[in-house]
Amino acid sequence: MAADAASFRLPRYAQIPDIGLYLEQVVRYVNTHLAPLGEPELTLSMVSNYVKQRLIPPPQKKAYMAEHLARLLFIAVVKPVVPLDGLRLMFAIQEESYDLCTAYDYFCDELENMLGAAFGLAPAARELGETHSDAKDLLRNTISAIVNKVYLDRYLRDYQALRERQPFPAEETAL
């Protein structure tokens, strides 16, 4: 369990391709980066729905840029604990306070930090310190909920797999 958390890294905004990816490439890119979390995968229809719901802007000539990918990575991580209307509000709060590049990179730092803490790899809030803003507090608490969900899902999955591999004690029969 901890090995995936220890090696988990999201690309920072400057590392996200800004060359224009097609929908299939976008889905593969997001799913590849989020696979270690074990959450449900992003699908083509989900991305199309996020465009319709105006959570991400429409692609430019069927091409998705870095802004789209950053938003989709965030959405894919947060959607198990935040409804679509909540995501919309979170984006509005972010846009009032921070540019997307800054907000996304902070999200990556917080997520990696909290994963490390949840899996016992590092102390919580290492190098991140106090948030000093309601927007950052909201993000940190959202990430805390996500990380706890990921931890519980992984723990229960691994525990169940262990139980299935171990033989059950023979039941005593009365003679």
DSSP state of 37: G
Q: Which amino acid is at 82?
A: V
pLDDT score, position 130: 61
pLDDT score, position 174: 47
Going by C-alpha positions, the residue among 35, 6, 9 that lies closest to residue 119 is: 6
pLDDT score, position 172: 46
Domain ranges of the chain: 2-165
* Tens of pLDDT, residue by residue, the chain (175 residues): 577 777 899 999 999 999 999 999 999 999 999 998 887 799 999 999 999 999 999 999 999 999 999 999 999 999 999 999 999 999 999 999 899 999 999 999 999 988 888 877 776 544 555 667 788 888 888 998 988 888 888 888 888 888 888 765 554 444 4
Residue carrying the six token digits 């917080």: 110
Q: Tell me the C-alpha distance between 63 and 26, whole Å.
A: 9
